[in-house]
Chains A and B, each alone.
Chain A
Amino acid sequence: MIHTEKLTKNFTVKKETVEAVKGVDIDVAPGELVAFLGPNGAGKSTTLRMLTTLLRPTSGTASVAGVDVTADPAGVRARIGYIGQGNGGGHSFRVIDELVMQGRFYGMNSSDALARAHELLTSLDLADLSKRTVVKLSGGQRRRMDVALGLMHSPRLLFLDEPSTGMDPQNRANLWEHIMRMRAEHGTTIVLTTHYMDEADSMSERVIIIDHGHIIADDTAGRLKANLAGDLLAVEVAAGSASGVRGLLGRAAAGGEVSENSYDGVVRFRLRLPEGARLAPALLKEMDDAGAPAQSLELKPPTLDDVFLELTGRNLREGANR
């Protein structure tokens, strides 16, 4: 459905070159749901804009829905849907009018467009607002309208740039329900970016992590976490017996770092334990046998933030792990 080779975008700002996207290779098969994850300015929107013909690549190639983005941009546009990062509704227009006209732009006839618009308004919880002008919608309502605009013509390939930003949890859940249903019914291929790590984590089968214009990881969320991070384990033992488990914990961390700090007569060890949930019981038993029983234990499954930290040495910005 999507195939890119060395896709690159440079901007020139005041005679200086900004390398926004540095030669990315992406392959997306029909029906996949892929999330781009990365900090602000990583190049997510720029990549999406090149794939949707809103920006011309500086170099490299991209074929989208079987059409080359440079050779036939109009052909690409006829085959995709795009929900950009900004609000797409015209400010003085009524919600329903904008939806219907969007359908008309994509060649739907007026009765189909009207029916589809009402269907989307209902499922995105906007039915009461259909006659409001866009400027009188709240931020979250506007975002839902953007989503409705992008879904009007039921595209087979849909790009969404941070679709759920600004929505409350209820509406995020609605949005995802809608996307999942569309996917199940029509086999829609979906490429999205998100600031919400839990979304990338739980909803997409595949996460592409972008940093500084490079793809630094591309796999299922589960495998990314299992391969790179391991569960975060914290165990406390009495200060007197700490020396008996240092070697043991070091081996369990399999080369990873073991940090420790002591307070109030206990020593707290922290380490990454691959497959922690499976291995922790055995580890506890070994500690018992070594004469240093654990006084408390905390085991946290890794998040994509941990994956990012491990790959780059940096945290994904605030907001990402909300």
Chain B
Amino acid sequence: MGTQATAAEAREKPGLGQVLHDTRFVFWREMLLPLRDPFSLIFSLIQPLVFLGLFGPLLGAAVGAPAFGGQSTLQWFLPGVVVMIALFGTSMTGSNLQYELMTGFYERILATPLSRSSLMIGRALKEWAPLVVQGLLIALVCIPFGFVFYPLHVLLGLIILGIFGIGLGALSYALALVSQNKEWIFWGVQQTLLFPLMILSGIMLPIEAGPAWMKTASLFNPLTYLVNAERELFAGGVGTDTLLGLLAASVTAAVGLVVGVKAINRNLN
């Protein structure tokens, strides 16, 4: 054996610093795809605008302004759309992996010294990154229609969404590993969970309008706190809702990463 240690061998013991370091490269690699092919990004920008433009007016007409706690429909609905894009994006983190499990790609990455957490965080963040552009664009487009834009609050809101997205992305990653060779399980579970969670968080329609059991159920849904936090922030406030949202996001991230690393290791048996 030679005496000179290679760069990989000189790595520190895996810790937070190492995870951040590795995450940077995993994220960067993932970002090469949209950067080399920017057209894919354009569609991802149009989609939320269509949703907002078509669904928003109907919502205002159907539910009526008082249901939104005195806010304009747009001010109330826009943060929901942003959360929804984040949910759709980051819950897909595992879908690419499914394909890669069939080629030698996953094995190649697993044989590198990259920390396991960074594999999931880097990918989840790639699904989240376009949201920064999307969120800001939607906000700007909505200003002429009466939306009041608080840039710093919105930024904080996006960061909280990113933390939540890491958790959801890691869970999605774990789901892809568990449903290896059975893609339908991945899609089945992802769809079956996502929609009830979304509806029970008041993301599209105010939960206050629903029956009591729905309100109770929504209290056990981390997404509820996330949506409330985003609403508070988008309206220019920072308070209890924001804090609870940050907490819910952090818990989701921690749980997601623990489950994800477990799933990766279980796969080695």
Contacts and interface: CB of A to CB of B under 8 A. Distances in A.
Chain B: interface secondary structure?
loop
Given A79-B9, A104-B25, A88 B32 contact: no
Nearest to B10: A107
Given A54-B107, A89-B105, A153-B8, A77 B112 contact: yes
A3 B112 CA distance: 21
A97 interface: yes
B1 interface: yes
A156 B6 contact: yes
B105 A105 contact: no
B33 interface: yes
Contacts of B32: 93-94, 97, 101
B6 A154 contact: yes
Chain A: interface secondary structure?
loop
Nearest to A11: B269
Contact of A77 (B7, B10, B113, B268): B113
B1 A77 contact: no
Contacts of B37: 92
Interface string A208-226: 0000000000000000000
A186 B6 CA distance: 12
B37 to A, nearest CB: 8
Contacts of A84: 104, 107-108, 111
A78 B8 contact: yes
A130 interface: no
A186 B113 contact: no
Interface of A: 1, 30, 52-56, 65-66, 74, 77-80, 82, 84-94, 97, 101-102, 104-108, 146, 149, 153-156, 186-187
Given A77-B113, A86-B105, A146-B108, 13 more contacts: A54-B111, A56-B268, A77-B112, A82-B108, A88-B103, A92-B33, A92-B37, A97-B36, A105-B112, A105-B114, A106-B8, A156-B1, A156-B6
